[in-house]
């Protein structure tokens, strides 16, 4: 006679990752339903972080994206070691995401309108900005200026500057900012889309230098996080501090846009600004 399956045996038949726990409402939700809703919770509308290829598909017209500089890969100038060597961490992150680093840049179309697009991906080392990320974003801004195209950066960087690259990562803040200044001088339209999280050196540089700042609902946007501020200077921050709603109220964000409406909203802004 066959034995009666025990609970542990039945559990083996359930695919891993089939369900997600929503950080917003704590509900257990079906992954495929979340993905079908553009990575938005069906219960509370919480916006999950989005893998970079899905973000491209959400924002740009189908099959219109042409990637630039995909071959650029980071090195390990300091031989940095924290919990594991930086070189090993890079190999693991590249295997996990299928990307060389945290930024993907290129050109495409938004409802038929040509644009230059740059995205930082939280899934690769929390979207932290090292030398390759900065180089890709700076090149994207320079190419947008040369082609006289609207520039869209989507920030999903919770790690700020990448400490494993030391001063080389910090200088990317200035490098990307300088490229954006040249783009602005050339008369370009820069739309910055702030997603959860946008923190640290990214928030302190290119993410908040746009002509137009759009933010997804409930996104955490700021420099130092709530816990860091409490532990260093002993301050308890106001409720909802560093959220997109708080920043909209205080003038740092122009509009909060649901993920399903981002493509249409970007197209409307381009038309309004008469950028051809």
- Residue 41 labeled ligand binder: yes
Residue 218 vs residue 231, higher pLDDT: 218
Structural contact between residues 157 and 124, judged by C-beta atoms closer than 8 angstroms: no
pTM: 0.90
Q: How far apart are alpha carbons 30 and 229 in whole angstroms?
A: 35
Kindly report, residue by residue over 115-152, the tens digit of the pLDDT. 999 999 999 999 999 999 999 999 999 999 999 999 99
Whether 232 has a pLDDT exceeding 90, the answer reads: no
22: annotated binding-site residue? yes
105 is in an annotated binding site: no
Helices (H) and strands (E) counted in the chain, each on its own, are 10, 9
Among the listed residues 207, 202, 217, 200, the one whose alpha carbon sits nearest the alpha carbon of residue 252: 207
Residue 255 tokens, joined: 């509009």
If you average pLDDT over every residue of the chain, what do you get?
92
Q: Give the C-alpha separation, 14 to 6, whole Å.
A: 14
Beta bridge mates, 103? 120
CATH number for the segment(s) 49-272? 3.90.226.10
9 pLDDT more than 90: no
Q: What is the DSSP string of 178-196?
A: HHHHHHHHTT--EEEEE-S
Average pLDDT over residues 102-109: 98
Question: In this predicted model, what pLDDT tens digit does every residue of 244-268 receive, in sequence order?
Answer: 999 999 999 999 999 999 999 999 9
Question: For the residues 66-86, what does the mean pLDDT come to?
Answer: 96
For residue 274, give both structure tokens: 């008469």
Q: What is the domain partition of the chain in residue ranges?
A: 1-48, 49-272
State the Cα torsion 82-84-87-91 to the nearest 10°. Answer: -140
- 273 among annotated binding-site residues: no
């Amino acid at each position: 006679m066959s034995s009666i399956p025990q609970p542990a045996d039945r559990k083996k038949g359930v695919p891993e990752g089939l369900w997600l726990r929503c950080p917003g409402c704590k509900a257990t939700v079906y992954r495929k339903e979340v993905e079908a809703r553009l990575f938005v919770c069906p219960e509370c509308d919480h916006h999950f972080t989005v893998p970079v290829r899905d973000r491209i598909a959400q924002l740009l017209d189908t099959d219109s994206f042409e990637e630039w500089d995909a071959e650029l890969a980071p090195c390990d100038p300091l031989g940095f070691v924290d919990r594991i060597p930086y070189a090993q961490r890079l190999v693991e992150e590249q295997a996990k995401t299928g990307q060389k680093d945290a930024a993907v840049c290129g050109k495409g179309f938004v409802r038929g309108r040509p644009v230059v697009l740059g995205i930082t991906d939280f899934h690769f080392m929390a979207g932290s900005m090292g030398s390759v990320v900065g180089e890709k974003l700076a090149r994207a801004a320079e190419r947008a200026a040369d082609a006289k195209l609207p520039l869209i950066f989507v920030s999903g960087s919770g790690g700020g500057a990448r400490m494993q690259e030391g001063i080389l990562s910090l200088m990317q803040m200035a490098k990307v900012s300088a490229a954006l200044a040249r783009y602005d001088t050339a008369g370009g339209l820069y739309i910055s889309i702030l997603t959860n999280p946008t923190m640290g050196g990214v928030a302190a540089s290119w993410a908040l230098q746009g002509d137009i700042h759009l933010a997804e609902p409930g996104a955490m946007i700021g420099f130092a996080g709530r816990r860091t501020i409490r532990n260093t200077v002993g301050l308890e921050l106001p409720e909802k501090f560093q959220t997109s709603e708080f920043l909209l109220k205080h003038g740092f964000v122009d509009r909060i846009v649901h993920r399903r409406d981002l493509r249409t909203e970007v197209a409307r802004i381009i038309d309004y600004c008469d950028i051809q």
